[in-house]
Structure 1
Amino acid sequence: MNIPKLKHSDSGNFFLIAGPCAIESRDMALRIAEKLVALTERLKIPYIFKGSYRKANRTKLDSFTGIGDIPALEILKEVGERFDVPTITDFHESQEAAMAASYVDVLQIPAFLCRQTDMLTAAAQTGKVVNIKKGQFMSGDSMAFAVEKVKSVNPAAEVFLTDRGNSFGYGDLIVDYRNLPVMQAHGVPVVMDCTHSLQQPNQSSGVTGGKPALIATIARAAIAVGADGLFIETHPKPSEAKSDGANMLPLDQLEGLLEKLLRIRQAIS
Structure 2
Amino acid sequence: MQIPKLKPNTDNNFFLMAGPCAIEGEEIVLRIAERIVKITDQLNIPYIFKGSYRKANRSRLDSFTGIGDEKALKILEKVGKEFGVPTVTDIHESGEAAMAASYVDVLQIPAFLCRQTDLLIAAAKTGKTVNVKKGQFLSAGSMKYAVDKIVENGNTNVILTDRGNSFGYQDLIVDFRGIPEMRAFNVPVVMDCTHSLQQPNQASGVTGGKPALIETIAKAAIAVGADGLFIETHPDLANAKSDAANMLQLDLLEGLLQKLVRVRQAVI
TM-score normalised according to structure 1 size: 0.99
Q: How does 1:9-20 map to 2 (within 5 A)?
A: 9-20=9-20
SS at match of 1:246: coil
1:211 pairs with 2:210? yes
SS in 2 for 1:11: coil
**In 1, Cα distance between the equivalents of 2:61 and 2:54?**
14
Q: Structure 2 matches for 1:77-156, cutoff 5 A?
A: 77-154=77-154, 156=155
Q: List aligned pairs for 1:1-269, cutoff 5 A.
A: 1-154=1-154, 156-269=155-268
Deviation, 1:247, is 0.1
CA distance in 2, matches of 1:160, 1:3: 10
The whole-number CA distance in structure 2 between the counterparts of 1:256 and 1:150 is 36
Residue aligned with 1:13, SS = coil
State the AA in 2 paired with 1:181.
P
In 2, Cα distance between equivalents of 1:136 and 1:3: 26
Alpha-carbon deviation of 1:174?
0.1
When the two chains are superposed, the root-mean-square deviation of aligned CA atoms in Å is 0.6
Instruction: Return the letter of the residue paired with 2:258.
Output: E
- SS of the residue 2:161 aligns to: strand
Q: Which letter does structure 2 place at the counterpart of 1:23? A: I
Q: 1:23, 1:53 within 8 Å by CA — same for their partners in 2? A: yes
Aligned mates of 2:128, 2:5 — CA distance in 1: 13
1:9 Cα deviation from its structure 2 partner: 2.5
Contact 1:239 1:246 survives alignment (8 Å): no
1:46 offset after TM fit, Å? 0.3
Q: Which runs of 4+ in 1 moved over 6 A?
A: none
Q: Deviations over 1:17-68 (max 9, x none)?
A: 0000000000010000000001100100000000000000000001000000
SS at the partner of 1:153? coil
Q: Distance in 2 between matches of 1:74 and 1:127?
A: 20
Tell me the percent identity.
72
Deviation at 1:239, TM superposition (A): 2.0
Unpaired runs of 5+ residues, structure 1, are: none
Give 5+ residue unaligned stretches, structure 2. none
Secondary structure in 1 matching 2:104: coil
| Count of residues in correspondence between the two structures | 268
Structure 1 distance, partners of 2:58, 2:82, is: 31
Given that 1:19 and 1:50 are in contact with CA atoms closer than 8 Å, whether structure 2 keeps it comes out as yes
Deviations 1:129-169 (A, max 9, x none): 00000000011100000000001111x42001000000000
